[in-house]
Amino acid sequence: MYPLILAFHKVIPDEHTESPYFWDALCTPYTNFISLIESLYQENFAFVSLQELEYAMMNPKERTVLLTFDDGYYNNIAYAYPFLKAENIPFVIALNGKCIEHNTWQWFDKVWFEGVQSQKSKEQITTQIQQFKYNIPVLEKWLSKQNNTVHSEETRIFFDIASITELKALKNTSFVSHTYSHYILSALSLSELEKEISQNLDFFTKNNVKIETDYFTLPNGTKKDFNAQTLKYLSEMGVQYIFSMLPYIKESNVLARYTPVHATWQKEAKRYKKQRLLYKWFK
């Protein structure tokens, strides 16, 4: 099988899983995260780094897995990182510069928090997020009316440059670009697309953070979220591989990333008696 590439966002304490302020689609309870890693060991998966990924793709008979974390949420450092460091497990972080530069939540986090505070249903909030994704002017108008103070059980929001510097010291850690504002790229004009990508790279270059420019992580990453203009521009920028949420196609430069549903969404996790179902589910 081709390398298994797993996508995570937030790794949170188990006691936070019942809080409505933690969107379960983005949250992996700590216990589930550890169980997932242990199940991969039991299934004889080898954890590979970004630098080893291309070799792993050319040798699909070996069971290999790459861990990726999107956005740069600080709880990854607080909870996932100590375990991964102790086990010497490599991982990739896809960074958005805006959240780090301005210490602000992602736009979809703000929509979620506002919805919870307004006592909207989960379906209503996710519908609003979907509507905003493809209408950036409407999203930005809504954001302009919001403040940056939102409810959270967390004391830190995103990485800062100091924490990134700490992670840089690990040989097995790599950083890739994830756009500056996490806007959906198919909703942008060419000039807006260029700004989203260049502004992110400029911010991290200015702060001496090496971004692996051969790789790029698409915001969201489904088929609706990028188009021919996106791929053409990224190719011109020298990007060789794109992390997506699409099935892996051998002839394509689009790499699949699968969110392990039974590990990430706490309600879904209850359906599974064994984490070892992971390999069969992805096979």
User: CB atoms < 10 A from the CB of 179, how many?
Assistant: 25
Span 227-253, average pLDDT: 77
Residue 278 — very low, low, confident or very high, per pLDDT cuts 50/70/90? very low
| Residue 254 bridge partners (DSSP) | 242
> Which CATH number belongs to the domain containing residue 140 in this structure?
3.20.20.370
Residue 250 has pLDDT above 90, yes or no: no
**The pLDDT of residue 259:** 58
Residue 266 has pLDDT above 70, yes or no: no
**The pLDDT of residue 247:** 57
Span 98-106, average pLDDT: 89
Residue 20 has pLDDT above 70, yes or no: yes
Query: Which pairing describes strands 46-47 and 91-95: parallel, antiparallel, or unpaired?
Result: unpaired
Residue 276 has pLDDT above 60, yes or no: no
Residue 245 has pLDDT above 90, yes or no: no
Residue 262 — very low, low, confident or very high, per pLDDT cuts 50/70/90? very low
Residue 274 has pLDDT above 50, yes or no: no
Question: How many CA atoms, within 13 angstroms, populate the side-chain half-sphere of residue 73?
Answer: 21
**The pLDDT of residue 150:** 53
Which strand (E) or helix (H) includes residue 268? Answer: helix 266-269
Residue, of 18 and 112, whose pLDDT is higher:
112
**The pLDDT of residue 155:** 60
Residue 124 has pLDDT above 60, yes or no: yes
> Hey, what are 147's tokens?
């403040």
Q: What is the DSSP string of 190-214?
A: HHHHHHHHHHHHHHHHHTT----TT
Sole residue written with tokens 């203009």: 229
Task: Please provide the average confidence, as pLDDT, over all residues in the chain.
Answer: 83
Query: Which pairing describes strands 215-217 and 27-29: parallel, antiparallel, or unpaired?
Result: unpaired
Residue 279 has pLDDT above 60, yes or no: no
**The pLDDT of residue 102:** 87
Q: What is the pLDDT of residues 147-202, one digit of tens each?
A: 765 555 556 688 889 889 888 887 789 999 999 999 999 999 999 999 999 999 99
Residue 221 has pLDDT above 70, yes or no: yes
**The pLDDT of residue 153:** 56
155-106-89-244 Cα dihedral, nearest 10 degrees: 170
| Domain limits for position 52 | 4-282
Measure the CA–CA gap between 73 and 10, rounded to whole angstroms: 6
Domain count, the chain: 1
Measure the CA–CA gap between 223 and 230, rounded to whole angstroms: 11
